[in-house]
Amino acid sequence: MDKVGIGLVGCGTVGSGLVRNLPEANRLLQQRLGIGLEIRAVAVRDLAKQREGLPIPPVADWKAVISNPAVQIVVELLGGTKDSFEVAKAAISAGKPLVTANKALLAERGQELIPLAQKAGVPIYFEASVAGGIPVLKALREGLVANQLLGLHGIINGTCNYILSRMAEEGSDFAPALQQAKELGYAEADDRLDVDGIDAAHKAAILCLLAYGFLPPFPKVPVEGIRSLAAQDVSFARQLGYTIKLLAVVRPVGADRAEVRVSPTLIPARHPMAAVHGVFNAVSLVGNLSGPVQFTGRGAGPDATSSALLADLGEAARHLRDKSPGPVLPAGGDKIRLIEPGDSVGRFYVRFDVRDQPGVLAQIAGIFGTEKIGISSVLQPEGHGADSVPLVFLLEPAKESSLQKAVAAVQKLPLNRAPARILRVEDLA
């Protein structure tokens, strides 16, 4: 078979990594699949920007890439959801398989895009959209296809994991850890997508699609980032035997509901996921047949992402060569809906700053008892000075709405000195 023609739309950091790694990957693809790839058209937003290694001059009009008869597979690397959606839609209309690393496109506009692709019979490949070089989507789609997934947890944003690792190891506050991440190139100047949990939530939505055939309405996914996390909470978590990670959780709730959320979460320090440091990612899941499975590796960067892109390109080229249909997305999720946030049941870490006087613990414990919330541990650190001290509770499983009601009642007491800090706890059993 002749080399398969590739058209790139967007050639920033990820695209440059793809271009750089293509020659060596081609040798392996030819050896293993009998397939070769060739870049035959490239469109970029800024023609003045120097890009090394491009085999052909880029153009500004992405439509010229898709309409090029020498292009058989379109790779969309623009990011965002507006222009990228138009590119994806045009590729599908042209009958050309689409390969993308764009998690925002799939999470926010997948409910429009996926039906278009299914109706046209054009496959979409998106392994690179989640966890970089970790082939977790392929594992869900193929290796674990006979399993009923009982739950999935993911550390899927390397920037946040790096910041939390620094906070845990150095005892630093959030701001200096974020600044260090920016200086090392792990965080963008505009850090909101990463630090506020949006990037991880995009990936969680895609994991839900592969795990349960259900793409949740993105605005309804509860998302909390790490910006307000304090060094003292990292320290208290460690004293309780836990580590704090920005965790994505995807799990079924009964037969027709699912929970998808992203939040800073206490996980047991003895669990393997607690040892995932720096910019590395991890996805842990439980199948009814496989039991616990964990994937760990580099979650971002041009090399890790191009590894996933090249794997998708090889698969897409093989399907073109064999004239076989591409991968089928899971079905059956049309009857599933997200649970309401207040209906979520879990364990919680709650820190109050309270007046240092006798009887405070009993008063707060009584309020938790009224809401039928059990207490598993209490931490009363000394030596904080003045008349205000932190009081930390690790709670038994409770409904989130009940927890919020109890916390609101505590905060009305005259003994309360500051807003409570609430964090999720996942025991990952």
**Residue 132 confidence (pLDDT):** 87
Residue 43: alpha-carbon gap to chain centroid: 28
Which residues make up the CATH 3.30.70.260 domain(s) of the chain?
A: 341-425
Amino acid at 164: L
97's tokens: 């398989």
Half-sphere exposure of 134 (CA within 13 A, CB side): 24
| 96, 103, 138, 203: the active-site residue | 203
Which residues make up the CATH 3.30.360.10 domain(s) of the chain?
A: 136-298
The topology (CATH level 3) of 4-132+302-333 is: Rossmann fold (3.40.50)
Is 247 within 8 Å of 264 (Cβ atoms)?
yes
The helix/strand/coil state of 80 is coil
**Residue 7 confidence (pLDDT):** 98
What string of pLDDT tens digits covers the 429 residues of the chain?
579 999 999 999 899 999 999 999 999 999 999 999 999 999 999 998 888 889 999 999 999 999 999 999 999 999 999 999 999 999 999 999 999 999 999 999 999 999 999 999 999 999 999 998 899 999 999 999 999 999 999 999 999 999 999 999 999 999 999 999 999 888 888 899 999 999 999 999 999 999 999 999 999 999 999 999 999 999 999 999 999 999 999 999 988 999 999 999 999 999 999 999 999 999 999 999 999 999 999 988 889 999 999 999 999 999 999 988 888 777 667 789 999 999 999 999 999 999 888 889 999 999 999 999 999 999 988 756 567 899 999 999 999 999 999 999 999 999 888 899 999 999 997
Phi-psi label, residue 28: left if phi above 0, alpha if psi -120 to 50, beta otherwise: alpha
**Residue from 178, 202, 208, 207 nearest 190 by CA:** 178
223's tokens: 């998302």
Helices (H), 94-197: 103-120, 136-138, 158-170, 174-183, 192-195
Domain 136-298 has CATH 3.30.360.10: yes
**Residue from 400, 382, 381, 384 nearest 392 by CA:** 381
Helix 231-239 × helix 158-170 angle, to 10°: 70
**Residue 264 confidence (pLDDT):** 98
- Alpha carbon distance 220, 322 (integer Å): 40
Residue-level length of the chain = 429
Cα distances (angstroms) measured from residue 26 to each of 18, 32, 39, 325: 11, 10, 11, 23
Which residues make up the CATH 3.40.50.720 domain(s) of the chain?
A: 4-132+302-333
Amino acid at 206: I
203 catalytic per annotation: yes
CATH number of 341-425: 3.30.70.260
pTM reported for the whole predicted model: 0.95
Helix (H) / strand (E) element for 202: namely helix 198-212
